[in-house]
């Protein structure tokens, strides 16, 4: 597994996404090289010019820091890069460098390449996370636990259903991102103002050849100030982050010391600098550390989608770093989530113990349903409420309270036996469609067909 370098990179730059300076620089060079090859194929550049430019278009031969300093003179790094690339190729091939293009053509195309390459890595980790969630759902289809609403105990569910509930979010995010990667990441080639006037009537043909060279979609026309492609990509990444954040939040709650129904795997992980006894849910915390930053990045890209006339003054420039951060953080969250789910330790005994320790109170609903036909629904509700209050005050279980005193007399008069009360208090008898929903989620997951789980073709 690739992990970027840097103090925080192992936390927030985990996984296979490459969206830093080197990735952008190589993508810009790839765009320039592909343009030279397209021009040659169109008969607009000398034979061999494409190969010559391609040979020179190696990021290791260029200094990103120096290009960045020069970019301050032009507002973006493409002009100094085009000059440096031109100087690096034989003079007879120099005319094929950047011909017909504007800086935004190269940077937008590079953004699409960075996103496409990053999407392969993100989709692979999302596929692994989905497979792990499916494994948990299947393994714990019948593992009973307490359900929680508004962070309070509700009625029984199964952990299989909880894990199955994570699964559609991941799979739907995979589908959305795969669609964007396959259909919406398009080459940008419009020249100075979207007319490709520098290439005469050859422009559309060169644009098509350029897209073919890079494996990107061919747009209907240049999209310099139509930023819906960027926004769709950002929304798909944000949806994936939301699905992963929900899982991580659930695990942090289940891993609380007082709950202890699940814990993360990973030898040597989770220690505290001050409290040696702790085992912190590190992967979950870091998923959340990544995903909490995503909505702000999406908002920035959405705000930047409003752009003026044929070329934007500032909004386009505002996209580059947020998009890079969004790819990196979503990729890191997906990588952490895949490991988290694959190693999640589920404590079925603790789940049952927590459910049993609730004293039967979460089963008030089925008991009320039992009594309703005999007592009337309002009277049954009031009887259960009074019994619950009495049980809580006396430190009793709900069952004990229902089998003594006024409650017992009322039940006997209604013809409800203690055995019927015990059956209504059994969590296993009040799981509704939990198993059916779990099976449905697993079936939908199995039917999901994404080529090679989003991995790039071999």
Asked if 270 and 129 sit in the same domain, the reply is yes
Asked if 141 and 253 sit in the same domain, the reply is yes
* 117 in any annotated domain: yes
Intervals of the chain under pLDDT 70: 1-4, 266-278, 449-458
Select from 201, 218, 235 the last residue of a domain.
218
Asked if 326 and 347 sit in the same domain, the reply is yes
Tell me the residue range of the domain where 385 lies. 361-424
Instruction: Report pLDDT for 347.
Output: 97
Asked if 91 and 166 sit in the same domain, the reply is no
Instruction: Report pLDDT for 449.
Output: 62
Asked if 250 and 279 sit in the same domain, the reply is yes
What is the rounded distance in angstroms from the CA atom of residue 281 to the CA atom of residue 29? 41
- For 227-247, what is each residue's pLDDT tens digit? 999 999 999 999 999 999 999
Residues serving a catalytic function are: 272, 311
Q: Which strand (E) or helix (H) includes residue 152? A: strand 152-158
Asked if 244 and 155 sit in the same domain, the reply is yes
Asked if 336 and 286 sit in the same domain, the reply is yes
- For 89-115, what is each residue's pLDDT tens digit? 999 999 999 999 999 999 999 999 999
Whole-prediction pTM value?
0.92
Asked if 206 and 254 sit in the same domain, the reply is no
Asked if 53 and 69 sit in the same domain, the reply is yes
* 6 in any annotated domain: no
* 454 in any annotated domain: yes
* 87 in any annotated domain: yes
* 290 in any annotated domain: yes
Instruction: Report pLDDT for 457.
Output: 38
CATH of the domain at 70: 1.10.275.10
Instruction: Report pLDDT for 405.
Output: 83
What is the rounded distance in angstroms from the CA atom of residue 398 to the CA atom of residue 368? 12
- Bridge partners of residue 345, in order along the sequence: 263
Domain count of the fold of the chain: 3
Asked if 271 and 155 sit in the same domain, the reply is yes
* 349 in any annotated domain: yes
Give CA separation, 95 vs 33, 65, 149, 252, in Å.
Answer: 12, 26, 66, 58
* 269 in any annotated domain: yes
What is the DSSP secondary-structure string of 195-260? S-GGGGGGHHHHHHHHHHHHT-BPPSS--TT--HHHHHHHHHHHHHHHHHHHHHHHHHHHTSTTT-
Asked if 29 and 144 sit in the same domain, the reply is no
* 389 in any annotated domain: yes
- Residue 181 has what DSSP assignment? I
CATH of the domain at 244: 1.20.200.10
């Amino acid at each position: 597994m690739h992990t970027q370098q840097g103090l925080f990179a192992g936390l927030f730059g985990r996984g296979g996404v490459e969206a830093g300076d080197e990735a952008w620089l190589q993508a810009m060079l790839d765009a320039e090289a592909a343009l030279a090859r397209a021009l040659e194929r169109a008969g607009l550049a000398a034979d061999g010019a494409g190969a010559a430019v391609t040979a020179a278009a190696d990021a290791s031969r260029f200094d990103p820091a120096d290009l960045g300093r020069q970019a301050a003179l032009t507002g973006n790094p493409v002009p100094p890069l085009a000059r440096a690339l031109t100087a690096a190729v034989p003079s007879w091939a120099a005319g094929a460098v950047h011909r017909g293009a504007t800086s935004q053509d190269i940077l937008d195309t590079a953004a699409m390449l960075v996103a496409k390459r990053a999407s392969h890595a993100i989709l692979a980790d999302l596929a692994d996370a989905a497979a792990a969630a499916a494994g948990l759902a299947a393994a714990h289809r019948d593992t009973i636990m307490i359900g929680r609403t508004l962070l309070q105990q509700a009625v029984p569910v199964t952990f299989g259903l909880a894990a199955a509930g994570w699964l559609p979010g991941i799979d739907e995010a995979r589908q959305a991102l795969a669609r964007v990667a396959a259909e919406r990441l398009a080459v940008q080639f419009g020249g100075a103002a979207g007319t490709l006037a520098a290439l005469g009537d050859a422009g559309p043909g060169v644009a098509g050849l350029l897209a073919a060279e890079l494996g990107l979609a061919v747009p209907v026309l240049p999209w310099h100030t139509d930023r819906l492609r960027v926004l769709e990509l950002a929304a798909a990444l944000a949806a994936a982050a939301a699905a992963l954040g929900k899982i991580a939040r659930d695990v942090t709650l289940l891993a609380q010391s007082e709950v202890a129904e699940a814990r993360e795997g990973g030898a040597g992980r989770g220690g505290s600098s001050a409290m040696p006894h702790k085992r912190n849910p590190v992967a979950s915390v870091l998923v959340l550390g990544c995903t909490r930053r995503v909505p702000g990045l999406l908002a920035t890209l959405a705000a930047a989608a409003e752009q003026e006339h044929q070329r934007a003054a500032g909004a386009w420039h505002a996209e580059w770093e947020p998009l890079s951060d969004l790819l990196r953080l979503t990729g890191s969250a997906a990588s952490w989530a895949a490991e988290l789910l694959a190693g999640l330790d589920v404590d079925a005994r603790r789940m049952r113990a927590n459910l049993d320790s609730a004293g039967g109170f979460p089963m008030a609903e089925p008991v009320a349903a039992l009594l309703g036909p005999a007592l009337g629904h309002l009277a049954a509700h009031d009887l259960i409420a009074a019994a619950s209050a009495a049980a809580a005050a006396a430190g009793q279980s709900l069952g004990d309270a229902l089998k003594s005193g006024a409650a017992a007399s009322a039940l006997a008069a209604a013809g409800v036996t203690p055995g019927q009360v015990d059956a209504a208090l059994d969590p296993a008898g009040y799981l509704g469609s939990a198993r059916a929903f779990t099976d449905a989620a697993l079936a939908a997951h199995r039917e999901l067909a994404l080529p090679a789980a989003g991995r790039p073709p071999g």
